[in-house]
Structure 1
Amino acid sequence: MRRRRLLGGLAVTAAAAAGIPLPSGGPPPETDAAAGDALVAGLRDAMLGIGTRPPGTELPDTLVKRALSAFHACDYTALAVLLPAAIRTGHADGTDTSLARAYVLATRMLVKLDEHQLGWMAADRARQYAGSTGDPMQSAEAARQLAVLARRAGWHDQALSIALAAAADPALRTAGPDGAAQRGLLVQSAAYTAARAGDADGMRELTGEAVAIATALRGTTRLRQHGGFSPATVQLHLVSAENSAGDPSRALTAAKALNPGQLPTVERQARYYSDVATAYAASGRRDDCVRALLAAERMAPQETHTRPAVRAMVQGLLVSGRTTTELRSLAARSSLTF
């Protein structure tokens, strides 16, 4: 009896993650934090092979495109259905290109949610399937996500090596403007790693290289599916990197030089405001920090309420000093206790 109940529960989880309507209509998560939990659970089960592709499901390429749109819009509720379904259907159809893209996106999402154990699993599969496609762009992007995870693990030398080796791939230099943009994304990643390693000068030197690449592309935005590469996205990375290097005043200066409306997606624009909030928090400017967090929330509520780094910032504000109605309301909407 217990085994039947367990298998029944697994079937419900798999069905929900694959987008199969449940008999009750499958009520959506009650909170944004619950949507994030549902996304992680759906990815875990899809990656473990629990559940099968339901009849009539869209093609993997279509699901990946829809999942990317949901990611860029910070729509975690939609992403919790679309991305696990993209992985399941990709495996069912044996499409390496779709699987490479789906696993790259899964890695990005899992890193964002601090689910690093699953992130390593997704990154390894992204690299495996990207290699099978023979597409240097796919392999380079898989390498970038692997470098991010290495950085998160504190393996700074290895993260730098992965990103810079991928950027030096001759195949990217013959891949036109998109190849140049991919090199720029990898150099940006290396710059951020240098900041995390405490090498502010190295970070700024590498950022200068990324600026030069973006300038050579005449200010256009390339590779929107990877978050975009342009002078504006390089500047956004500089804000994050200065924060990581421990210099919030430089981060705020970099932020003032950037119009967030120039960033290509809602996800990138929300990151701008959360990075500004981080700099204000480090500077002890509580009211400005809360205003930046509220701006991020208006831009992307599910992202703001779910991302662990932002939740930790809100929780820290609650326990470290005077609270306001705005802060307490933001905490409540984020399902935080105070």
Structure 2
Amino acid sequence: MSKNLGTLVRSARVAHGWTQRDLADHLHCSRSTVSRLETGAQPLGDIATLRRLAKVLQISPTALGITATVTVQPLAEDDVRRRQLLTNLAVTAAAASPPARAIASAAADAQGRPKDLLVTRVRSAMLTTGSATAPIPPTPLRATLASAIRAYDNCEYTKLATALPQLITNAHATCSTTDTVLAETYTLVTRLMIKLDDQLGWVAADRARSLATACGDPLVAGEAARNLAVLARRAGWHSEAEQIAIGMAEDDMLQGRDSARTAERGLLVMSAAYTAAHAADHSGMRQLTEQAAALAAHLGGKVLLRDHGSGFSPTAVQLHRISAEYAAGDPAAAIAAARKIPPRALPTVERRARYFTDVARAYGMWGRRDQCLQALLHAERAAPQETHSRPAVRGLVTGLLTSGQTSPDLRGLAARCGIR
């Protein structure tokens, strides 16, 4: 099997929302076999296996080189047909699924990038391999946390690479396990590592939830649970992810008339809705989204909990609709939702970058390459450090590069993202 065929198999797999393990289970083989097939390391000339692969992935057998007379065509004769299929599959796969780890190694040679520096320093601080520090007064520590949150909202990864590790170290030196600053610090780390698709997110999420339980603050506990639900969803554990989010939203500590607690419930309900979309529960997604919209309307349209991922508001619910609709497989509905939001009305740089990235993913799923690229360029202009670092963007750019004609704008964006 050639690398081109391997790319087709990988793209079709990701378009289904499957991991390599999922495909291996369908094919009754090992995950390592699927990996070798996708990289082209394992040639595949067995017609029966090729046919089973085509059937499982729901793609034409001819795309895998199988003719009506069950002969394998030379690659050169089938390139046009296969490339046409890749045009939709590769971009759709990158748009419709969590960031594909299969492309990470190809882009990991970007030494010295803000993301690499940030993750390395945060890891060092979390594993206590950095230098120790003396305790500092609570007020400056709280101000440092607020500054780190602003840097996150502004997508300033270079600034976070300095501020966040120091915050972790100082918070451990200063805070007890019942202090909300330490729990909020790890909540911020979790949120960032989710965005960067880094496994440190699991460590940070576990610490955040333990610390949130110890301090007993309902809003901190709600955010810790929401981030854990996101990680569970990304792992493909949809039932558990929805249970975590809905369970926390219905917890007694978030009930009552307090507007901040109502807003946290809304954020958790939106998380559950997005999980329902990934689980192909379209009606459940829309029902939960309407529930979140009702909570936002009940709060009078105000933006609450700005430090919780830019907050909860009717605009936040509308922004959520974009990602939820494309995750549910309806890019037209996603774009329709996007057209109701003026990007400049979004409260932070991070939200604007997310808006354009979500729009790009929807256009990618729709097969509209030009609009996808333009949305990515808008995201880059809004937040260059985040756009160049996010695996979601790298997946889209890689899909565009491998699925059709390239342009100077696309090649320039790929180079700036460290994709060769």
TM-score normalised per structure 1 = 0.87
In structure 1, C-alpha distance between the alignment counterparts of 2:289 and 2:235, rounded to whole Å: 22
In structure 2, C-alpha distance between the alignment counterparts of 1:32 and 1:101, rounded to whole Å: 30
Residue in 1 that maps onto 2:107: none
Residue in 2 that maps onto 1:256: 339
In structure 2, C-alpha distance between the alignment counterparts of 1:258 and 1:265, rounded to whole Å: 14
- Give the partner amino acid of 1:249: A
The worse-fitting range, judged by mean Cα deviation, of 68-77 and 327-336 is 327-336
**Backbone CA RMSD of aligned residues:** 1.7
> For this pair of structures, how many residues does the alignment match?
307
Q: Any unmatched runs of 5+ in structure 1? A: 1-30
* 1:78 pairs with 2:174: no
The CA deviation at 1:84 is 1.2
Residue in 1 that maps onto 2:418: 335
Residue in 2 that maps onto 1:268: 351
Residue in 2 that maps onto 1:198: 280
The CA deviation at 1:63 is 1.9
Does the CA contact (< 8 Å) of 1:221 and 1:264 recur in 2? no
Residue in 1 that maps onto 2:360: 277
In structure 1, C-alpha distance between the alignment counterparts of 2:134 and 2:203, rounded to whole Å: 27
* 1:221 pairs with 2:303: yes
Residue in 1 that maps onto 2:183: 100
Does the CA contact (< 8 Å) of 2:278 and 2:328 recur in 1? yes
Residue in 2 that maps onto 1:87: 168
Pick aligned residue for 1:38 from 75, 99, 117:
117
Does the CA contact (< 8 Å) of 2:249 and 2:268 recur in 1? yes
The worse-fitting range, judged by mean Cα deviation, of 67-76 and 252-261 is 252-261
Q: Any unmatched runs of 5+ in structure 2? A: 1-109
* 1:172 pairs with 2:250: no
- Give the partner amino acid of 2:173: A
Larger radius of gyration: 2
Per-residue deviation, residues 238-262 of structure 1 (Å, max 9, x unmatched): 1001111111111111111222222
Q: Report the identity percentage.
A: 53
In structure 1, C-alpha distance between the alignment counterparts of 2:202 and 2:339, rounded to whole Å: 35
Residue in 2 that maps onto 1:230: 313
In structure 2, C-alpha distance between the alignment counterparts of 1:280 and 1:235, rounded to whole Å: 17
In structure 2, C-alpha distance between the alignment counterparts of 1:236 and 1:127, rounded to whole Å: 26
Per-residue deviation, residues 233-290 of structure 1 (Å, max 9, x unmatched): 1111110011111111111111112222222211011100010011111111111111
In structure 1, C-alpha distance between the alignment counterparts of 2:150 and 2:170, rounded to whole Å: 18
| 1:115-134 pair list within 5 angstroms | 115=198, 117-134=199-216
The CA deviation at 1:52 is 2.9
TM-score normalised per structure 2 = 0.71
- Give the partner amino acid of 1:47: M
* 1:141 pairs with 2:223: yes
- Give the partner amino acid of 1:225: D
Does the CA contact (< 8 Å) of 2:334 and 2:362 recur in 1? yes
- Give the partner amino acid of 1:219: G
- Give the partner amino acid of 1:40: V
- Give the partner amino acid of 1:140: G
Pick aligned residue for 1:315 from 391, 398, 403:
398
Does the CA contact (< 8 Å) of 2:134 and 2:170 recur in 1? no
Pick aligned residue for 2:330 from 247, 257, 267:
247
* 1:47 pairs with 2:47: no
The worse-fitting range, judged by mean Cα deviation, of 325-334 and 178-187 is 325-334
